[in-house]
A and B are shown apart, each in its own frame.
Chain A
């Protein structure tokens, strides 16, 4: 069990680091196609990260140790969280890894440090991004907790590994209520990865930035780490949706064939989901900031409905 799990840790981390930039580029490509242009190549994010890793890091004169520590805290928290979500191979969890609440709060830790770093440089754009990001995070948190509670009610466990094992044993959505939870998880994905209608990830206007505003002052290697952690976070949330709702093809045994098939199936499913996200983003404009809570109420409502259904039926 322990060697299995150690192998799982290595496989999962490698898979997540390699696959995440691909999904980022795919979403950009889909958005470009809907706008009638070709868009950057599918491997552009890899080239960008490689370029950034070789560039110089510059710190503002007003920056403190927070600015220097944040990219590393960020990538460490997100990579730890990546151990919690099985992408291609699932096994029994060891030592409490896989608790969904801990997963959520690892992501929140990363976001907290990102907000502090946004304030740290003393520039008003970073402060604006941090303030907006923290307000959105405060408003979406009850919804996220309720969605995870609904997942726990459906799968009868708080451990993501148990949930994925149950799900992959049946091969199809375990109950129809999972479709409702899927909608809520999709809304959470949009919010956590700062996509339209919450925030435009491709904006170049600082007054409209939320996530981009917080990483505005980062440069070089630090910026590469922040972009990679945002990409990995997106992949983890996509994997949560994919592996809980459409789980066929997941490997439960450590054979090369099963792992290869699971990897291909995951990339294909991820590509489809990236296409759906891209189409969803292209179909709407950024909503006014103070109207965002109304959007989140929908996710909250679906999950509460699922909990009521599961408890009373």
Chain B
């Protein structure tokens, strides 16, 4: 028989998320609708906890974006055209000759 009163993962981590609400920018909202004017009989309600994924958005994503940009530059250089590869070899040899001539 499955247990439906079991604590979920979100519920388990709710106190920590509230303690660190300044980092996670936790926003809790709730609303209730009533059947009557005096707000006694509850019809339905919603509750919402919103937080930003701090480590993903501010730590991992910037590093990932830097490496994606570096990879895009390398993709443009490795374009499968043999002439550009021969050009790279030529430029490297000329630079090496100049470097050795200047410092060795």
A-to-B contact residues, CB < 8 Å: 61-62, 119, 122-124, 126-128, 130-132, 134-135, 138-139, 289-290, 293
Contact = CB atoms under 8 A, between A and B. Distances in A.
B6 to A, nearest CB: 5
A131 B12 contact: yes
B96 to A, nearest CB: 53
B19 A293 contact: yes
Interface string B1-17: 10101110001111110
A290 B16 CA distance: 10
B12 to A, nearest CB: 5
Interface of B is mostly: helix
B16 A127 contact: no
A169 to B, nearest CB: 42
A131 B18 CA distance: 12
Given A61-B1, A135-B15, 13 more contacts: A62-B1, A62-B6, A122-B3, A122-B6, A124-B6, A127-B6, A130-B12, A132-B15, A135-B19, A138-B16, A139-B19, A290-B18, A293-B19
A289 B7 contact: no
Contact of A62 (B3, B12, B14, B16): B3
Contacts of B1: 61-62
Nearest to B17: A135
A136 to B, nearest CB: 8
Contact of A124 (B7, B13, B14): B7
B15 to A, nearest CB: 4
A139 B20 CA distance: 10
Contact of B7 (A61, A119, A138, A290): A119
Contacts of B5: 122-124
Contacts of A132: 15
Nearest to A135: B15
Nearest to B18: A290
Nearest to B3: A122
Contacts of A134: 12, 16
A124 B3 CA distance: 10
A131 B6 contact: no
Contacts of B14: 131
B24 to A, nearest CB: 14
A138 B11 CA distance: 16
Contacts of A119: 6-7, 12
Contacts of A123: 3, 5-6
Residue among B1, B7, B12, B19 with most chain A CB within 10 A: B7
A126 B7 CA distance: 8
Nearest to B6: A122
Contacts of B6: 62, 119, 122-124, 127
Contacts of A127: 6-7, 11-12
A62 B1 CA distance: 8
Contacts of B7: 119, 124, 126-128, 130-131
Interface string B27-51: 0000000000000000000000000
Contacts of A131: 7, 11-15
Nearest to B4: A122
Nearest to A61: B1
Contacts of B18: 290
Contacts of A62: 1, 3, 6
Nearest to A289: B15
A130 B8 CA distance: 12
Contacts of A289: 15
A127 B14 CA distance: 12
Residue among A132, A135, A138 with most chain B CB within 10 A: A135
Contacts of A61: 1
A134 B3 CA distance: 22
B18 to A, nearest CB: 6
